[in-house]
Chain A
Amino acid sequence: MGVNPIVLLGALIYFGILFWIGWSSRKASLDASDFYVAGRKVGPFVNGSALAATYFSPASFLGLPAFIFIIGYPFWWALVGIIGGMPIATLLTAAPLRKYAPTSFTDYYADRYETKWMRLAAGIPTIIGGFAYVILSIVGTALFMLAILKINFTFSVILSAVVVFAYIYYGGMVATTFSTAFQGITMTVAAVIAAAFVIGNYGGLNGLTDAILSNNPNFFNTPYANAVPSHKLMSMWSGVIGFFFTWHFGFSALPYTVVRFFTTQDIKAARRSVFWAVIVGGAMYAGLVIIGSGARVIIETMHPLMNTEGITNAMGLLKHMKTLYGVAGASVTDYSMIAAIEAFQRPFLLAILAAGGLAIAMATAAGWTMVLNVLLGRDLIGKVFGSKWPEEKPILVTRIMTVIIIVVCTLLSFKPPALVLDISGAAFIVILCSCGPPLVLGIWWERSTKMAAFINIIVMTFLSCFSWMYANTVHGSAHLFFLNKNWVTPHQFYWVFVGFAFFIVLSLITKPCSDETIQKYSLDLRPRH
């Protein structure tokens, strides 16, 4: 399978449009406000589409279909949980944080908890999660580059890093907001067209279901109701619930989406942008469900490499691709979605999918890199350690940080530590259980205290990282409970709920913040009655 000119042309058109948007908006990124928060002038539809493109990453586009491919129907609930978590953000964090109108994610922690050191505390899990996300975005971009150019994975990673770097370096928040909005539409159109093609190929949903069942009779089995589960991770209720909640609260509390609420024109636009993000993201996820469900049967019955070179099943084919292109680490099944579309042997379809995949990967890399370079430059070097440099040369500092972030993440992308969806799940849990409670309860509970916020962030960051790595290393899966491998607890998701309970208990026994702070950063941010 060589380079197809139509697939290559599709990618070039995509990059052409992206370059045009970046060039058109280059003059809009000249001051710090424009660079960080797009001058707070983005409308609801553009912001909603950009929100969807930023929030959904290669973990969605490659990882979710791969997990449906591996686990079966019960994993559909994980996608329902992700989209179901989006509307919650409308009133929980989007409107109050837009009312507060900060520049950076850590501004709220420093103001609400009355110390600049909260920036450093909140920055620790954010840096861990952020670097993980930039890595998975570079890996995702590299897998799509590989699908387009049929080059070795190592070269593909380098090429992807250069593309992502150039995109962010010249962009800032204005360019990345408008180009990300375009990317939101691109990825949704790609997923919906690919899914329609899959359904059409089998003559409708009934035909597709029959084909899936003929290939894997256990695919639609559910815990307890069927003697044999669809997968061992779905043998108990905690598997379904755990995957549902792993990403569920991310839209409300993760820095790379929260900062997009800062860019809207006003509170009304912030709330409406969530509505548009649900429409765009929900349509894309509906497409991903179909592609992931049909991937195994499509690969095994239609892929041109099946029954060649000793390949007898879908996993065998993916392992063959891994060897052929030198794909490192655990990311072999991440290629299942691309392999399924390759199986149709329609270059036009693969071109659309590749454009959508590049769009989602680059948008997330840009969103997270912006969060990290503002955090490392403006927040830590400037606000915490007192240097005037980020204030005097904000764009230069941000760009230097971008260089450092991309170089470090590229080096770690050559051998990804896990499947892209597993990297994403770990990042979500670390940030949600540590930074989530002080953010959400800081707005909605006057009793939230500085000491509780500080201890919660440090303790939960350690516990969630340790338990995830322990389960992954000792039990061989991050989805098994770290103290008992017979229990299924995807990504140690329970820490999110433990984190909230821990934060409440700590707040009740420690000294509250001043009345003035509570009034300004808690009560005044709530809706007027």
Chain B
Amino acid sequence: MFKGMPKIFFIGMAIMYGWCIGFMILEMLIPGLPLMKLFGVPACYIYNWIVGLWIINIVVSFLYFSMEEKREAAVAEKQG
């Protein structure tokens, strides 16, 4: 199952799920975590609103297309 899937797919999944599930667990363990101050604003705006919702997914989707293009170029070069 998933034979031939590029490694970057699993790395991207680990980054995204690690971040989301990790902070969900922290929220359930640390009372008031969303409202603790981080960079001068409630922490939830940083780890959920900006990074979790947007930045991480931009990074992962960028990695997915750019690493695949590089890998395909290397394969094409190898095969002449």
- Which residues of A are at the interface with B, using a C-beta cutoff of 8 A? 73-74, 76-77, 79-81, 83-84, 86-88, 90-92, 95, 204-206, 209, 220, 222-226, 237, 240-241, 244, 268, 271-272, 274-275, 278-279, 282-283, 285-286, 289, 441, 444-445, 447, 523, 526-529
CB pair A225 B13 closer than 8 Å: no
Partner of B5, one of A79, A91, A204: A91
Partner of A91, one of B34, B42, B57, B68: B68
Closest A residue to B56 by beta carbon equals: A84
CB within 8 Å for A86 and B57 given contacts A77-B20, A80-B20: yes
B55 to chain A, nearest CB (A): 8
CB pair B48 A90 closer than 8 Å: no
CB within 8 Å for A88 and B68 given contacts A240-B24, A241-B24, A444-B1: no
CB pair A90 B75 closer than 8 Å: no
CB within 8 Å for A272 and B56 given contacts A222-B34, A528-B75: no
The docked-state distance in angstroms from the alpha carbon of A79 to that of B44 is 13
CB pair A445 B1 closer than 8 Å: yes
CB within 8 Å for A283 and B33 given contacts A73-B44, A92-B9, A223-B28: no
Partner of A286, one of B3, B33, B50: B50
Closest B residue to A83 by beta carbon equals: B57
Partner of B9, one of A80, A91, A283, A445: A91
Q: Name the interface residues of B1-15: CB closer than 8 Å to any CB of A.
A: 1-6, 8-9, 12-13
CB pair A237 B28 closer than 8 Å: yes
Q: Which of B27, B30, B69 has the most CB of A within 10 A?
A: B27
What DSSP secondary structure best describes chain B's contact surface?
Answer: helix
Q: Name the interface residues of B34-60: CB closer than 8 Å to any CB of A.
A: 34-35, 40-42, 44-45, 48-50, 52-54, 56-58, 60
Which B residues touch A222, using CB under 8 A? 27-28, 33-34
CB within 8 Å for A80 and B29 given contacts A91-B64, A274-B65: no
CB pair B75 A529 closer than 8 Å: yes
Interface presence of B80 (CB below 8 A): no
CB pair A87 B4 closer than 8 Å: no
CB within 8 Å for A527 and B6 given contacts A87-B60, A272-B65, A444-B1: yes
The docked-state distance in angstroms from the alpha carbon of A224 to that of B25 is 10
CB within 8 Å for A225 and B30 given contacts A91-B9, A205-B41: yes
Closest A residue to B53 by beta carbon equals: A80
Which A residues touch B6, using CB under 8 A? 91, 527
Closest A residue to B47 by beta carbon equals: A80
Which B residues touch A240, using CB under 8 A? 24
CB pair B49 A286 closer than 8 Å: yes
CB pair B61 A86 closer than 8 Å: yes
Interface presence of B31 (CB below 8 A): yes
Partner of A282, one of B29, B40, B58: B58
CB pair A209 B35 closer than 8 Å: yes
Which B residues touch A523, using CB under 8 A? 4
